Amino acid sequence: MTSEYRLKRRVQFYETDAAGIVHFSWYLRYMEEAEHALWREAGISIAPAGSEIGWPRVAISCEYHSALFFEDEIEILMRVATISRKTIRYECVITRGDDRIATAAMTIVCVIKKAGEPMRALPIPTDVIERLGVAVDA
């Protein structure tokens, strides 16, 4: 069971804007990178080949506490906060050493996606819940 994952990485030059500061949109990419690493650590994939199940993002929030710059070494802590019948909510903290850079949350929903049909929510597969190691909220 894996309910959190710590991803360490270095800020790349292309992630910065003209002022040399990491562009705000990259924080969401960092979250997604850590999310996928969390799933891999749990022995599953968020997007296995041929799967009709998808995980669109339905809510994201992020508070920026300090700037990041090229070559900064950062850690992204991604934690499964709650799992409901059809959604997973993550909490994320991005740090540089002891400095808190950003705090964020993201909610994804389990959907079925078939060609020519609209996506519709469905219950999260049991193996995903078991591998992510968090009790389902009522």
User: What are the φ/ψ torsions at residue 43 (nearest 5 degrees)?
Assistant: 85, 20
The first and second tokens of residue 114, run together, are 């078939």
Q: Is 72 a catalytic residue?
A: no
**Contact (CB, 8 A) for 1 and 133:** yes
The first and second tokens of residue 71, run together, are 């070559």
**Contact (CB, 8 A) for 5 and 37:** yes
**Contact (CB, 8 A) for 95 and 74:** yes
Task: Cite the active site residues.
Answer: 17
